[in-house]
Amino acid sequence: MTKLVHSIRTLKDIVDQSLIKTGLFIGGRWSSGDEKFPVLNPATEQILCEVTSANIDDANLAITCAQKAWPSYRQSLPDLRYLYLSKWAALIENNLEDLALLLTLEQGKPLAEALGEVAFAQRYAIWYAEQAKRIEGHTVAPHADNLELLVEKIPVGIGAAITPWNFPASMVTRKLAPALAAGCPVVLKPSEDTPLIAAALIELLHRAGLPAGVVNLLPTSREQAPALGKVFTSSNCIKKISFTGSAYVGKQLLRQAAGQVQRVSMELGGNAPSIIFEDADLQSAVDHVCATKFRNAGQVCIATNRILVHRSIFPAFIQLLQAKISMLVPGNGLTPGVTLGPVINQRALDRIHNLVIKAQEQGAKVLCGGVRLDQSGYFYAPTLITDVLPENCLFKEEIFGPVAAVSVFDTESEAITLANNSQCGLAAYFYSENANRCRRVSQALEAGMVGQNCSAMTNERMPFGGLKQSGIGSEGGVEGIEEWLDTRFHCRAYAN
C-alpha cells in the first residue's frame, strides 16, 4: 500500500486525478450539466465535490445510445466480451489503492474494508469474463425423424441497473459484469451518496475498450431518482431492471416494471438471525457475530440483525460480546487503527438513534453505546442491547447500523421459529458443534443464504439472493449470468 497516506482527506490527494469524474457518461463520452448535487464525506460532513444530476432527457438519451449499441454488441463473440472484462479487471487491480481511497472518502468505511471491497469488485469482473465463454445451449431428442431441436441462450436485451451506497464498488461489477458477459448493454444509476467510485469504475471500463453506448452512467440527485426509475420502467427498450436497495423502492419498481413485463432482479435487504446454541464454540461464535454485525458499521444487507442466544450460555456470551465490542475503534476510515466508520448520512444516523430509543421504550436494555458520538461526522457508538422481544422494533426492522440486539431462547424449535419470524429471508447464521443439529437447522431456516459456524460466506462464485420479501433472483455464480439470458427454442425440419 505504497500510495496510502493516512493524512489524505480530499479528492486532490488521489494519485490518478483522471479517475475522478463528476459528470454523466453517455454514448461513450463524459459530459456535464447545469444541475448538480453535492457528495459528502460522511466522516467529516464536508463536501467532496459536486456531481452533475441526470434528468429525464439524459435518461432517454442514454437508453437511445444503448439501443444503438445493442445490435452489434449482442452479436459480439464471447472471446471479445471476455477480453473487455479481463482488461477491466486488470485496470481495477492496477488502480486498487486509488479506488479504495475514493471509496473511503465518499462512503466512510475503514480503508482496509475499502481495499477488500475493491478487490472483491475485481473478482466479479474476472469471474464473468470466464463465464462469457461458458454460455451453453443443448439439443433435445426429436419427436419426428426429420426434425432437429435446439435450445439456445440469448441476451435479454438492454438493462437498467440501480446500485446502493453500502457496497458501491462491488455492486457495480456484480451487476455490470454478468450483463456484459451475456451481451447486454446497461444504463447504470448509482446511489446519490456514492457516485464517484461508480464513475471511476466506468472510466476504467471505457479504457478497457468497451464500445460506445454499451454502458452509460447516470448519477442523479435523491430528488430526481424516482423520475429516472419511471423512465426505465416505462421504456419499451429496457428489458430488465436490476435493483439493490430498500423494499419500499423495490416494490415500487416491481409495480412499474409490470407494465412493460420487464424482467427483474431485486435484492431488497434482510433481517438476518444469528443463532448461538448451547453447544457452540462460544468464543468463535462471538467473533463471527461481531464480524457480521459491525462490518461497514452494520450497513450490510446480510448483517446479523437479531442475535438469538440459548438461555444457558447467555451471561457468558454477553460478557464476551461486550468485551469484543469495546475493542472497536470508531473514527475516520483513513485513520490508522480505526475499525468502525460512520453511517452514510444524517438520515441514517437519526433513524438508528430513533430505533434505539423506541426499543428501550418497548422494554429493551442498553448495555453499552446507544448514543451518537460527539464528533464531526455521522458516527453512532457501537451498541449492545438485550431483552429484545419478538414484538420489539429491533427484532422486526432491519437496523442497518452498529447496534447488536440480543434475544434468548430455550429450545431448538423455539430458535428456528424466532429466526423464521420475519418477512425477510436473505441470510441466516447459526453456531453449533452438533452435526445432527446443524443438518436440521440448516434445512429449517427460511433464507437464501445460510452460514454454519462462519461469517464470511459470500463470494463471486456463489449465488447471492434471498427468499420471501428479500427479493427476486440471484447475483453472482453461474446463476448471475442466467439472469441476463433468455431461452430460445429452434425446431428445424429437413427433407427425408
The pLDDT of residue 468 is 97
Q: Strand, helix or coil at 316?
A: helix
Burial degree of 494 (CB within 10 A; 0-12, 13-18, 19+): exposed
How far CA 436 is from CA of 108, 149, 243, 430, 432, in Å, comes to 42, 46, 38, 13, 10
Mean pLDDT calculated for residue range 342-357: 98
368 given a catalytic annotation: no
Domains of the chain: 11-268+470-489 (3.40.605.10), 272-460 (3.40.309.10)
The pLDDT of residue 9 is 63
Q: What are the backbone dihedrals phi and psi of residue 83, each rounded to the nearest 5 degrees, phi first?
A: -65, -45
Mean pLDDT calculated for residue range 440-467: 96
How far CA 200 is from CA of 40, 359, 458, in Å, comes to 17, 40, 24
Report whether 400 contacts 299 (CB < 8 A): yes
Q: Which stretch of 7-16, 132-141, 442-451 has the lowest confidence by average pLDDT?
A: 7-16
How far CA 395 is from CA of 37, 236, 303, 401, 420, in Å, comes to 35, 41, 13, 14, 11
Which three three-digit cell numbers place residue 17?
486525478
**Is the pLDDT score of 2 beyond 60?**
no
**Is the pLDDT score of 7 beyond 70?**
no
Q: How confident is the model at residue 341 (pLDDT cuts 50, 70, 90)?
A: very high
Q: How far apart are CA 158 and CA 443, in angstroms?
A: 37
Q: Which of 106, 267, 412, 483 is the catalytic position?
A: 267
Q: Which residues are registered as beta bridge partners of 492?
A: 148
Q: What are the backbone dihedrals phi and psi of residue 472, each rounded to the nearest 5 degrees, phi first?
A: -135, 130
Q: Which are the contacts of 378, defined by CB distance < 8 A and separation ≥ 6?
A: 42, 43, 45, 108, 342, 343, 344, 345, 346, 348, 349
What percent of the chain has pLDDT above 70?
A: 98
Q: Which stretch of 213-217, 356-360, 492-496 has the lowest confidence by average pLDDT?
A: 492-496
203 given a catalytic annotation: no
* pTM for this prediction: 0.96
Q: Which of 65, 184, 290, 301 is the catalytic position?
A: 301
